[in-house]
Structure 1
Amino acid sequence: AFAANDLATIQSNISSPVIIDVRSPQEFATGSIEGAVNLPLKGLPDSLLSEGIELDEEVVVYCRSGRRSAQAKTVLKAAGFELVFDGGPMSQLDGVLNDSDS
């Protein structure tokens, strides 16, 4: 059982987060959410720090199914990133981010 992702929070409370795709570069190449940065799960949290992403920035992580994004959230929270949100599966997050009615 996986914890519920943070889509509702992302939709209502976050304006311009850093969007991180934690899938492999091969998966990222097949399509991604507009503006997302590809930082695979296995390189976290160091890759976020080397990208210059601050510990207090809003970060949304996503993957294909939601499993790796949940792991990424746990890893980043443990590393001191305060505002990490699990966007879950790419298909769901894309709908939330591109919902112009909100």
Structure 2
Amino acid sequence: MPLSYKVLVSGASLSGSAASVYTALALTSATISAVSVNNPTGAPVTFELYLGSAATNNTKIVTKSIPAGKSVPVSEVVGHKIEAGMQLFALGAGMFLNISGSEYVQ
């Protein structure tokens, strides 16, 4: 199957604990092309994104403070590859996450 451009994560509601927001299925790989985080709360919130089989310090790819009431691009993660079986985990209490990218199914 060819390459397809798609929304990988759409408006995922985040909590204060890292949770899986995307999993590359068997025979599928993906590339992140855009990430944005919306913080509708009244205070800055820390956003963290992890890439791997678990959310650990070894798999963290970004930590960023998102200002209150703002939507912010997270360009630091653009270009990261997600291999079959790998997951993206995210945390950010009260925030919402959107990720666009491409998937290639073998």
Q: Report if TM-score (shorter chain) is over 0.5.
A: no
- TM bin (shorter chain): under 0.3
More contact order relative to length (CA 8 Å, sep ≥ 6): 2
Task: Provide TM-score, normalisation by structure 2.
Answer: 0.26
Q: More helix by proportion, 1 or 2? A: 1
Task: Provide TM-score, normalisation by structure 1.
Answer: 0.27
- Structure showing greater Rg: 2
